[in-house]
């Protein structure tokens, strides 16, 4: 599950969609303070959703032309007098300039839509700051996670959730009603203390992807350096051959599958570690260490990055024959053969190796594509749990097996050829096999009936060293209960 998914409220934050107590929006008049990008998109959306809108600007004459004629554009104080709900589409820095409006805003709902430029920029959230400036008004935080662009496209595209928080239930309900009428899904994030969290959400850049991206970059750098030394530096130092032209395509193309393959195995390694921990402690109720927990949560991103590298590897491989260097090498080989009068260059073993290697690689990519597609929320939501776990666990593991076959057919007998040990460094493929083969081996061991049954019992709640009540079927088919030490 992605961090983005994790950030989505599961419990506690109640989706207010479908709340029968929320009445459909009447032709309410909504006030908007400000005439910038956000205000303009908001006004358009409000008008399209059937609201009357009055815009409060410091310079209404100049700004009126920016809004549709259906919206009334007037001075700030005039605008707020005509409505009970006012969207404050103004930056935090300018809140204090609105203080003159405190009296007219008293008793009204102020919707704080603002964002910051840095995470936890101010000690006090913008909404709390606004509330402190207007103690006689009720502040609701909301709409800040929706961009001006999403407002324009009318929730058909982009984020549909509008996170709302306030200390006043009634005000929160009113804003939720407006959001719903605009086609968004209001999500109740609780009281005003959540405002800081809501304000930080739009500033987070792919939080769930940070570790997987760093991991794949780290692996890429390590394997790139390793391949560079073997494919470019070694021939340069030992044979004075200039192979630097290989860096942009060949070295990258031998690095990408290493990253893809290891990343795929890293999707399944935490399962093995979790199973080891559960078998060792004899319980599923013991918390995994923090790093394992994090790892388990990032499996989707790691898998998608593995697919990304595999797809790039496929593209690079398809482009290999297009290179000038490849054409020169082909001609060179042909000329050499003509000079040496060699007629038959067909090597049966090599032909078979390549056929199997390519076919298995295509199957592996196909399976990885399937895993990637089914991890998309819209597709995943259409699958039941069994279907999802069959694709992600069983087919995913088969993808790992097929990728291993792809790697082995690529390497073939190179591991046993001493010429392949450049600077005593083993061929790259032998290194990449280490983690995936460990995972496959561990999976095979866990599938042994004695271990598998114990693991399944633990996952159903059995605990080592605890007496549990169980129910036994009697000879007549009736059930009788008894006590048993689960150690037995």
Verify binding: residue 125, ligand NAP, rule CB under 6 A: no
Verify binding: residue 144, ligand NAP, rule CB under 6 A: yes
Comparing CB distances to ligand NAP, the nearer of 90 and 267 is 90
Comparing CB distances to ligand NAP, the nearer of 152 and 283 is 152
Binding residues for ligand NAP, total number by CB under 6 A = 21
CB of 61 to ligand NAP, least distance (A): 11
Verify binding: residue 75, ligand NAP, rule CB under 6 A: no
CB of 62 to ligand NAP, least distance (A): 8
As a whole number of angstroms, the distance between CA 170 and CA 22 comes to 10
CB of 314 to ligand NAP, least distance (A): 38
Among 22, 25, 31, 35, binds ligand NAP (CB under 6 A): 35
Q: Minimal CB distance to ligand NAP: which residue?
A: 36
Among 101, 113, 162, 196, binds ligand NAP (CB under 6 A): 113
Verify binding: residue 97, ligand NAP, rule CB under 6 A: yes
Verify binding: residue 259, ligand NAP, rule CB under 6 A: no
Verify binding: residue 90, ligand NAP, rule CB under 6 A: yes
CB of 88 to ligand NAP, least distance (A): 8
Window contacting ligand NAP (CB under 6 A); options: 142-150, 157-165, 268-276, 421-429: 142-150
Verify binding: residue 446, ligand NAP, rule CB under 6 A: no
CB of 145 to ligand NAP, least distance (A): 7
Window contacting ligand NAP (CB under 6 A); options: 9-17, 31-39, 164-172, 190-198: 31-39
Verify binding: residue 37, ligand NAP, rule CB under 6 A: yes
CB of 122 to ligand NAP, least distance (A): 13
Verify binding: residue 409, ligand NAP, rule CB under 6 A: no
Window contacting ligand NAP (CB under 6 A); options: 84-92, 316-324, 376-384, 441-449: 84-92
Among 147, 185, 359, 430, binds ligand NAP (CB under 6 A): 147
Binding site for ligand NAP (CB under 6 A): 34-39, 57-59, 63, 89-91, 94, 97, 113-115, 144, 147-148
């Amino acid at each position: 599950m992605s961090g983005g998914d994790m950030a989505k409220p599961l419990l506690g934050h109640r989706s207010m969609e479908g709340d029968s107590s929320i009445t459909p929006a009447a032709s309410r008049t909504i006030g908007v303070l400000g005439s910038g990008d956000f205000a303009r998109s908001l006004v358009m959306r409000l008008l399209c959703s059937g609201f009357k809108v009055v815009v409060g600007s410091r310079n209404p004459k100049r700004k009126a032309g920016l809004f549709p004629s259906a919206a009334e554009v007037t001075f700030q104080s005039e605008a707020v007098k005509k409505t009970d709900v006012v969207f404050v589409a103004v930056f935090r820095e300018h809140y204090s300039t609105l203080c003159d409006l405190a009296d007219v805003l008293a008793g009204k709902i102020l919707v704080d839509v603002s964002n910051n430029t840095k995470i936890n920029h101010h000690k006090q959230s913008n909404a709390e700051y606004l509330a402190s400036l207007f103690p006689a008004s009720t502040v609701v935080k909301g709409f800040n996670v929706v961009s001006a662009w999403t407002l324009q496209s009318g929730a058909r595209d982009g984020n549909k959730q509008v996170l709302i928080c306030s200390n006043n239930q009634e005000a929160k309900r009113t804003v939720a009603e407006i959001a719903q009428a605009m086609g968004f899904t209001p999500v109740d994030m609780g009281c005003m203390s959540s405002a800081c969290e809501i304000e930080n959400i739009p500033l987070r850049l792919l939080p769930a992807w940070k570790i997987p991206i760093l991991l794949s970059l780290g692996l890429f750098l390590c394997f790139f350096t390793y391949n560079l030394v073997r494919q470019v530096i070694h021939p340069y130092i030992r044979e004075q051959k200039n192979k630097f032209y290989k860096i942009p395509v060949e070295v990258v193309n031998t690095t990408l599958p290493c990253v893809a393959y290891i990343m795929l195995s890293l999707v399944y390694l935490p399962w093995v570690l979790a199973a080891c921990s559960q078998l060792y402690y004899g319980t599923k109720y013991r918390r995994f260490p923090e790093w394992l927990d994090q790892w388990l949560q990032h499996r989707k991103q790691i898998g998608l990055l593995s697919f990304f590298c595999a797809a790039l590897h496929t593209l690079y491989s398809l482009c290999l024959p297009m290179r000038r260097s490849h054409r020169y090498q082909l001609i060179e080989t042909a000329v050499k053969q003509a000079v040496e009068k060699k007629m038959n260059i067909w090597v049966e073993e090599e032909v078979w190796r390549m056929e199997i290697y390519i076919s298995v690689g295509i199957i592996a990519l196909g399976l990885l594509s399937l895993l990637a597609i089914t991890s998309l929320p819209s597709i995943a939501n259409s699958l039941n749990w069994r279907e999802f776990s069959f694709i992600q666990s069983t087919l995913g593991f088969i993808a790992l097996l097929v990728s291993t076959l792809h790697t082995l057919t690529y390497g073939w007998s190179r591991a046993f050829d001493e010429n392949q040990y450049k600077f005593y460094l083993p061929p790259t493929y032998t290194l990449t096999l280490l983690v995936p083969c460990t995972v496959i081996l561990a999976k095979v061991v866990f599938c042994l009936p004695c271990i598998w049954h114990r693991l399944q019992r633990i996952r159903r709640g059995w605990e080592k060293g605890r007496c549990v009540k169980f129910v036994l079927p009697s000879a007549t088919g009736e059930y009788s209960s008894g006590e048993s030490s689960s150690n037995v």
